[in-house]
Chains A and B, each alone.
Chain A
Amino acid sequence: GAVVSQHPSWVICKSGTSVKIECRSLDFQATTMFWYRQFPKQSLMLMATSNEGSKATYEQGVEKDKFLINHASLTLSTLTVTSAHPEDSSFYICSASRSTGGAYEQYFGPGTRLTVT
């Protein structure tokens, strides 16, 4: 149990376009979902926390107009990278929790590799 999927697993897009990444909890309801970003040889850095039906809470330094997060249902959250630039190329990974807040128990997706050309 507690399986989280992400789609796509990798994507290449042109500079200036937008890309949407989906995160789904397949066998449980995710009250809270988290989005992380990882640059090479660095740690997973939390970008934002979202609770179903409410606005996401972004970490300091993360542009909310650039990284749009929608958590419209208890099994789906999406991250849209708007007007992507090469510096947005990174590995994006989501996690989901059954509980509100949910830092204690997180189940991760396999991640999405974004390359912006």
Chain B
Amino acid sequence: ILNVEQSPQSLHVQEGDSTNFTCSFPSSNFYALHWYRWETAKSPEALFVMTLNGDEKKKGRISATLNTKEGYSYLYIKGSQPEDSATYLCAFIRGNKLVFGAGTILRVKS
């Protein structure tokens, strides 16, 4: 894999469902992986910066894991709420730049 791939492209869940999505990235020369949450008409908001293989980070109902050897990260949302509706972006650092995936669009229906 040369760039960042995110799956699924979009996801519709019911309020209360737990969900997860994947970010795949090149496993060589890994430095750091970022997760952002991007609501419509707002600025992307940093969720996590992950640097170590096996890292697991948590912020409220959202958590993320990192596997640098195989080049993937999972983002989990437990008990989704309508306010979790957003696009979730991941990005890894290549050289001195952030390389982004196309994002996963999450819609939570109440």
Interface residues of A (CB under 8 A from B): 4, 9, 34, 36, 41-46, 49, 93, 101-104, 106-111
Which of B4, B41, B95 counts the most A-chain CB atoms under 10 A from its CB? B41
Tell me if B96 is interfacial: C-beta within 8 Å of chain A: yes
Main secondary structure of the interface of A (DSSP, over half): loop
Write the B95-106 contact mask toward A (1 if CB under 8 angstroms, else 0): 111111111000
Residues of chain B contacted by A4 (CB below 8 angstroms):
43
Cα–Cα, bound, A47→B88 (Å):
21
Residues of chain A contacted by B97 (CB below 8 angstroms):
34, 46, 49, 103
Cα–Cα, bound, A106→B99 (Å):
12
Interface residues of B (CB under 8 A from A): 4, 9, 32, 36, 41-44, 46, 49, 89, 91, 93, 95-103
Do A104 and B4 contact each other (CB < 8 Å), given the known contacts A41-B102, A43-B102, A46-B98?
no
Cα–Cα, bound, A111→B42 (Å):
8
Contact between chains at B98 and A106 (CB < 8 Å): yes
Residues of chain B contacted by A110 (CB below 8 angstroms):
41-43
Name the distance in Å between A105's Cβ and chain B's nearest Cβ. Answer: 8
Do A108 and B44 contact each other (CB < 8 Å), given the known contacts A41-B102, A42-B102, A43-B101?
yes
Contact between chains at B89 and A44 (CB < 8 Å): yes
Across chains A and B, the number of contacting residue pairs, with CB separation under 8 Å, is 45
Name the distance in Å between A37's Cβ and chain B's nearest Cβ. Answer: 11
Contact between chains at B32 and A43 (CB < 8 Å): no
Top 7 A-B pairs, shortest CB-CB distance: A43-B100, A44-B100, A43-B102, A108-B44, A108-B43, A110-B43, A103-B96
B89 to chain A: closest residue by CB: A44
Contact of B103 among A43, A103, A109, A111 (CB under 8 A): A43
Do A104 and B49 contact each other (CB < 8 Å), given the known contacts A4-B43, A49-B97, A109-B43?
yes
Name the distance in Å between B8's Cβ and chain A's nearest Cβ. Answer: 13
Residues of chain B contacted by A101 (CB below 8 angstroms):
96
Residues of chain A contacted by B44 (CB below 8 angstroms):
93, 108
